[in-house]
Chain A
Amino acid sequence: MVIVTLFVALLPSVIKNINRNYTDERLVKQKDKLLQIVKERGIKTYIEDGQSYGSYLPLKEEYISLDTVENNYRLDTIQDERRVIERDTISYRILSHTFKVNGKTYMLEIGKSVETISETTGPLQNIALAILLGMVLLTIMADLFYANYILRPLSLIIKTKLIGNKFPSFNKYKEVKTTTSDFQHLDISIHQMIEAIEQAFQKEREFISNASHELMTPISIMQSKIENMFEQEDIADELKVRMMEMQKILNRLKSITKTLLLISQIENEQFLKEDSILVSELLQDIYDEISIRLQDKNINFELIVTDDILLVNVNKFLLFNLLFNLVNNAIKYNKPDGAITLTARVEKGGYSISITDTGIGIDAAQLPYIFDRFKKIKQSLLQDSFGLGLPIVKSIAAFHGITINVTSQKDKGSTFTLLFPFNILKFL
């Protein structure tokens, strides 16, 4: 492209140059012809008695003049000069040449008006430019077409393998037809990488599922043993307190295992989405369940259902757990005499339920990590939790296609907004 531009820019001067050289050549030829005539017929053909000779075409595009000059004057040039011919000042390209005949020096001038020269230059330049541009255009189009044709497998690979697939859900491998070995290699490599990732995901899910299942039985046995020990009449109270501590710790283990199992079940899509529930009803259930926890810190709870709708094709148990965990967090990380506001309303992109608290807030730096498993954020270390509350929330939301938005201000509080997609909404 740079070369083409350079070429187009240089074109006028190049053409001009060529044209000038051509003119000069013609001038020299005319001079030679004239000298020939002088040689053959003598100078007298043109000049008699020291008079100068001059001749020009009616429109003064060309002229010839022959004159005597001083003896030792020498000149042989071609250059642009101005001449006045019958009151008209015209720029000419002039060949000047001195020669001697019979001991006298004569100067010959042949001129061709610059205007005529550029008159031919103009059209020439235009034609050249047009041809050049046409060729450039043709080349570009051919290039584009060819590149497109050659790279079609590549764009197909990108379109079907990279853009079409929503990570980490994958489709079956479909070969992209191509004879170029590089593209075949690329296609297969991408496919293999996706497969490897998929397998890793699958393995992780299976592992969590198997591990938590396997842990359930020993936990069950231990729990039963402790419970049976409580039944024993002859156990001292001091020992009972320690058994209770054990029971608490076992409960913690049980909770973690159950939560991991739940997440893996959600991710393996083992839950049905067949329930319908009114938002007002769901939120009331949450309140009934959780109101006892508000007492401790004397938290004010406000429930604003601006638009009530029916959620369809959802899992009630999971949605309950999602909201329970969010509200529970809003209580846990709240300040004494704080407030929690639940708002449910129709929005532009769907239906939203937002939970706003006046709690300790989340550091902006921590915000991207709050949904990671076992990620304990500094302030949450003060609380009795093991960092799986928000991962549950995230899994359940993803399972239902719900988007979560979090905004937070340190020491002011946080807002979690759930945006429900249209396909699970039924307006009343």
Chain B
Amino acid sequence: MNVLIIEDEKALAYEMELFLTKNNFICELCFNGKSASEKIAVNLYDFILLDLGLPDYDGLDLLKEAKKSHPETACIILTARAEVNDRITGLDLGADDYLPKPFSLLELQSRMQAITRRKFGLVNHIIELDGFLVNLTDRNIVYQTTPVTTITKKEFDLIAYMLLNKNRTLTRAQLSEHIWGSIVNDDYDSNFIDAHIKNIRKKLSVHATADWLETVRGLGYRIKATV
């Protein structure tokens, strides 16, 4: 999939490129609004990652241009400006998502995957893990034929996030940012992820031992999946 990264902060743009390329995206970089505007007019992208705070251009204008020339392109707004109204205006103008800086690259990728699923209508995105069937579209888990009903929304969020990043170790910081990112509080060392994982394991163990949900000692957690 083709991605256009519009970001005037070069160091950040390179890191995004590195990460996305590794995850099988084809990336192009733009460091200012003018060249971005030209590229948008000529090329077709699946994704545009747009920093609103460009020195030479109003990011929202770029968004309008992009939507005009290729309405099917998915746009994600990335911004440090974090003006509350920007989010609303951005989404009104057709942006598909809005990610305030500083964001995690994993979070960015998971948002992109969510948009892909939505846009390209992947029906029943189901992953099988030792007899557990995790349906990412309908957001439920079934063991063989028995639904696992005890799993809460938060717990499913965690499982889904780890599945999107399967075979990759996620630190507690990354996991808690994903599920508590929007809450502003003054804890900086939340070990509540451990409690969540403990609960998930307990609930799944009623059906079978979930060995695929691994603890990586000293680091965090990982879902091991071959599929």
Q: Interface on A for B, CB 8 Å cutoff?
A: 213, 216-217, 219-221, 223-225, 227-228, 230-231, 237, 240-241, 244, 247-248, 251-252, 254-255, 258-259, 261-262, 265, 270-272, 288-289, 292-293, 295-296, 317, 320-321, 324-325, 328, 332, 384-389, 392
Contact = CB atoms under 8 A, between A and B. Distances in A.
Which one of A225, A271, A288 has the highest number of Cβ atoms from chain B below 10 Å of its Cβ? Answer: A225
Interface stretch (B10-18, B32-40, B58-66, B205-213): B10-18
A271 B199 contact: no
Interface string B1-30: 000000001011001101100100000000
A248 B174 CA distance: 9
A262 B184 contact: yes
Contacts of A328: 185, 187
A217 B12 contact: yes
A265 B218 CA distance: 37
A228 B15 contact: yes
Contacts of B192: 292-293, 296
A228 B18 contact: yes
B183 interface: yes
Contact of B189 (A221, A259, A384): A384
A255 B152 contact: no
Given A217-B80, A224-B16, A265-B82, A385 B173 contact: no
Contacts of A244: 171, 173, 218-220
Interface stretch (B41-49, B67-75, B101-109, B129-137): B101-109
Nearest to B155: A292
B173 A248 contact: yes
Interface of B: 9, 11-12, 15-16, 18-19, 22, 80-85, 101-106, 152-154, 168-169, 171, 173-174, 177, 182-189, 192, 195-196, 199, 218-220
Contacts, number: 135
Given A223-B102, A255-B188, A293-B192, 18 more contacts: A213-B80, A219-B101, A220-B80, A220-B101, A223-B103, A227-B15, A230-B169, A231-B19, A241-B218, A247-B174, A251-B173, A251-B188, A255-B185, A270-B84, A289-B154, A292-B192, A320-B183, A388-B186
Given A227-B106, A270-B84, A292-B195, A221 B11 contact: yes
A175 to B, nearest CB: 36
B183 A272 contact: no
A337 B105 CA distance: 39
A216 B171 contact: no
